Amino acid sequence: MADTAVQRVEGAGISGQRGFLRKTFVHNLPAKIAALPMIATVLIVFVGCTLWTIYYSFTNSKLLPTGKFVGFDQYERLFGTSRWNVSVTNLISYGAMSLVFTLVLGFLLAVLMDQKIRFESAFRTIMLYPFALSFIVTGLVWQWIMNPTLGLQTTIRNLGWTGFSFDWIANPRMVLFALLIAGLWQGVGFCMVLMLAGLRGVDDEIWKAARVDGIPTWRTYVSIVLPMMRGVLVTAVVLIGSGIVRLYDLVVALTNGGPGISSEVPAKYVYNYMFSGGNIGQGLAAASMMLLTVVIIMIPWAYLEFGGKGRQS
Amino acid sequence: MSQTATMAGSAPDTSVGVEPRGPRPKPFFTPTKIIIYSVLVFFTLYFLFPLYVMVVTSFKTMPEIRFGNIFAFPNQINFDAWIKAWTSACTGLTCEGLSPGFWNSVKITIPSTIVSIFIAAVNGYALINWRFKGSELFFAILIFGSFIPYQVFLYPLVMITREMGIFGTLQAVIIVHTIFGMPILTLLFRNYFGSLPQELFKAARVDGAGFWRIFFEIMLPMSLPIFVVALILQVTGIWNDFLFGVVFAGTKNLPMTVQLNNIVNSAQGTPEYNVNMAATVLTGLVPLIIYFVSGKLFVRGVAAGAVKG
């Protein structure tokens, strides 16, 4: 709209080479100057830095990114390192659990909130406040609650249930569930808010029709409303998913990767190799693998969101 | 819902074959309601429990904590842990408490918020009202880039800031926050400016106003609500950041979250859980206050990321 209006204001008589140059550089000049920070961010950071990282992940850089090209050596070493493999397995297990539980609990709570209940805004305020807190605060609070010597475990034992056990952060087999409890505490409220917005967006007529047909309420939610909320669901999955791949602060605060290496995650691997391990090539290869993961997650989403638009209408 | 509700409230009025019209008066305590409220209250307890434990622990003395009951209310409200957390708890090398971290976070948050919001507002405005060749492509890459893990950009950005001579200073953190706040904020402003009536822009254009004049005199006065949303989003986001602070700020400017983590996780000697929890509450206080004061605007802010243009 604005474009055509502006074009009419600019001289229409210019043509050929000069017109092309003018169109590319001079036309709309203040807007282009104003958008320079954005253009620079896109070109230098989002494109430039990504390519740089990918390129240098194929070198044997140690303390400085000056190494020579070594092909897939870093990647071979990466997948030969038990710490990386543990990190990846952890991310997959934690990610799957976190995604499923966040979505299911978020949806369940949203449905409950949608039953014309009293104190709705109080419930919502309480469910969403952890989302305002940092992962560091979240991790440290739960670290204290799950403290095996003075936390919840001891409290319950002192109350008389002497066999009670809740030592998850010190137990390599349970530590991911400890992360999950803290992660859900922080993120479920947000998912609930998204889902509730989705539920409220469903037309009342649908509900009336379902009621007339005598479909039970739960069935209406599962078979009619849920499929109608596809957009919100996809958004929730993408947001939760990209958050999971980034998982870092929470692990640092809650367990710092321990006990041993049993709660390590890829983002922490990257950080440690780049900034304290002095092995940049290895860190960059790990970072590139994280990038690849996100791209694999994003492609179906981008396809659904932008590519398939013609079909859905 | 109606199934069970009917069962519970059925006794008085189902003898007649014809359904009465209008909504059925429902008793408050139907089994369904009881289940709904019990589940909600259960989750409310799960969400409130850590806040309660955090606050209660921070007011206790260490002997009380060693007694081993995290539910118990403190015998008397004791501010010693708070004072120690603020002034003298050890964060690795120094023992000055959290207060330097608090001021570092203030020094990082204020300029980062202002710069990032201003740049994003201009971006959104240019993207809607002054489209140029490739502007939509830049925007698409910007949005896609916001999903790429930060770890991919960390090392190159360290090198760039080192080349610029600002690595390990406040400027570096501010630039990094501006860069990574840009996608979501630009989206926010672009959608908002897109929802404004275009006639205003065109009228100003016909009257001969230029890019900046329209921005400052027409667009800005109309966009106070979205600025508040962006403000909430950025202040909480930047305050809560850990990764950029620890990488780019340098040891003198470490933000509060990093100092907090150092107090708790790299402490020497016996851990003082009351000090730890007081420090944790202190760090969470700023976003919590913003959250409780801003109410629905916060919800709008976090949901903004979900509403893709």
What is residue A22's predicted lDDT score, i.e. its pLDDT?
65
> Which residue bears the tokens 């969400």?
B47
ipTM higher than 0.95? no
The per-residue pLDDT of chain B, averaged, comes to 85
Instruction: Tell me which DSSP letter residue B93 carries.
Output: T
Same domain, B68 and B213: no
Domain end residue (candidates: A49, A73, A97): A73
> Minimal Cα–Cα distance from A295 to chain B, Å?
8
B264 close contact with A: CB closer than 8 A: yes
Question: What's the token pair of residue B285?
Answer: 């206080």
The per-residue pLDDT string of chain A (313 residues; one tens digit each, 9 = 90 and over) reads 444 444 444 444 444 566 666 666 667 788 888 889 999 999 999 999 999 999 999 988 888 887 788 888 889 989 988 999 999 999 999 999 999 999 999 999 999 998 888 888 899 999 999 999 999 999 999 999 998 888 888 888 888 888 888 888 888 899 999 999 999 999 999 999 989 988 888 888 888 898 898 888 888 888 888 888 888 888 888 888 888 988 999 999 999 887 889 999 999 999 999 888 788 889 999 999 999 988 888 887 777 766 654 444 3
Cβ of A152 within 8 Å of Cβ of B70? The answer is: yes
Tens digit of each residue's pLDDT (9 = 90 or more) over B138-183: 998 898 888 889 999 999 999 999 999 999 899 999 999 999 999 9
pLDDT at B13 over 80: no
Which position has the higher pLDDT, A9 or B273?
Answer: B273
Least confident of B93-97, B203-207, B282-286: B93-97
pLDDT digits (tens, 9 = 90+) for B17-47: 566 676 666 666 788 888 899 999 999 999 9
Q: Which of A19, A43, A73 is the last residue of a domain?
A: A73
So what's the pLDDT on residue A167? Answer: 86
In sequence order, what are the residues at sequence separation of 6 or more whose Cβ sits closer than 8 angstroms to the Cβ of residue B268? B90
The number of distinct structural domains making up chain B is 2
Beta bridge partners of B94: B91
Give A59's strand partners: A69
Select from A53, A73, A93 the last residue of a domain: A73
What is the average pLDDT across B65-70? 84
pLDDT at B282 over 80: yes
Provide the domain limits for residue A60. Answer: 2-73
Domain check: are A27 and A105 in the same one? no
Indicate whether B107 and B137 sit together in one domain: yes
3-state secondary structure (DSSP) of residue A267: helix
The reported pLDDT for the residue numbered A85 is 93
Shared domain for B66 and B144, answered yes or no, is no
pLDDT at B7: 43
* Residue B162 contacts A where some CB pair is shorter than 8 Å: no
User: So what's the pLDDT on residue B305?
Assistant: 55
For residues A89, A92, A94 and A98, what is the CA-based torsion angle, rounded to 10 degrees?
180
pTM of the predicted structure, to 2 decimals: 0.85
Q: Which of B2, B4, B91, B147 to mutate to test the interface with A (most CBs of A within 10 A)?
A: B147
- Provide the shortest C-alpha distance from residue B210 to chain A (in Å): 8
Residue B241: closest C-alpha in chain A: A134
Do A148 and A245 lie in one domain? The reply is yes
Separation between Cα atoms, residue A174 and residue A169, nearest integer Å: 7
- Which alpha helices (DSSP H) does B59-133 contain, by range? 62-66, 80-87, 99-129
Record: contact B126-A253, CB cut-off 8 A = no
Alpha-carbon distances of A33 from A28, A113, A146, A289, rounded to whole Å: 9, 48, 53, 36
A232 Cβ neighbours under 8 A, 6+ residues apart:
A194, A195, A197, A198, A201, B306
Question: B299-302 — which CB contacts under 8 Å span 24+ positions?
Answer: B299/A124, B299/A128, B299/A193, B300/B229, B301/B229, B301/B230, B301/B232, B301/B233, B302/A128, B302/A131, B302/A190, B302/A193, B302/B233
- Please tell me what DSSP assigns to residue B252: G
Each residue's pLDDT tens digit, B234-243: 999 999 999 9
Instruction: Identify whether residues B241 and B297 lie together within a single domain.
Output: yes
Q: Which is more confidently placed, B115 or B250?
A: B115
For the segment B97-104, the average pLDDT, to the nearest whole number, is 91
Bridge partners (DSSP) listed for residue B91 = B94
- B199 vs chain A: nearest CA distance in angstroms? 10
Q: What pLDDT was estimated at residue B300? A: 75
Comparing alpha-carbon positions, the chain A residue that sits nearest to B265 is: A253
B48 is in which domain, residue-wise? 29-78
Tell me how many domains chain A contains: 2
**pLDDT score at B1:** 40
Same domain, A126 and A270: yes
User: Is B6 within a domain?
Assistant: no
Q: Are residues B117 and B72 in the same domain?
A: no
The chain A residue lying nearest B150, using CA atoms, is: A246
Q: Residue window 162-181, chain A: list those with CB within 8 Å of chain B.
A: none
